[in-house]
Amino acid sequence: MAQDISARLLAIVDALPLRQGMRVLEIGCGPGAMAREMARRIGAGKVVGIDRSAKAIALARAGSAPEMASDVLDFRQSAIEDFTLRTEEAPFDLVVAVRVGALDGRHPQAGEKARAAIARALGANGQLYIDGKAAQWVQRD
């Protein structure tokens, strides 16, 4: 049940093609409300939320103890431009970004690095959703 999520973010989660067992990366997760809601919906999958802000990651972790304890949710401090998969970590099925400056045209140079990092993090059939709009990801390194 969505307890701490805004109606706007809940509408975005409702629109995502979430399914049981998938791996999801949320870019710019803030305090983790959307990541928690996605984790509730994917069962034995995994949601990883990243944010460049240490304060946001601390808040996300503090509010997500049950999900983190069951290993369906993890938070990492990282800008998307610097994000890399961990050794032996499977790629993601879905990458979600809501109001992320590196992906909305506000920071073009960061956007190039961000798109390259996303391409490396996505699986072969992975999808990227920016502000609730789907974009099939076709760029591969």
So what's the pLDDT on residue 133?
54
Q: Are 24 and 51 in contact (CB under 8 A)?
A: no
State pTM to two decimals: 0.90
Q: 2-11, 60-69, 88-97: which has the minimum mean pLDDT? A: 2-11
Q: 6-15, 34-43, 89-98, 104-113: which has the minimum mean pLDDT? A: 104-113
Q: Are 95 and 126 in contact (CB under 8 A)?
A: yes
Domain layout of the chain by residue ranges: 7-136
The CATH superfamily label for domain 7-136 reads: Vaccinia Virus protein VP39 (3.40.50.150)
Model confidence over 2-46: pLDDT tens digits?
A: 468 999 999 999 999 999 999 999 999 999 999 999 999 999 999
Residue 132 has pLDDT above 90, yes or no: no
Region at 30 (left for phi over 0; alpha for psi -120 to 50; beta for the rest): left
So what's the pLDDT on residue 1?
41
Residue 111 has pLDDT above 90, yes or no: no
Token pair in block for residue 35: 């990541």
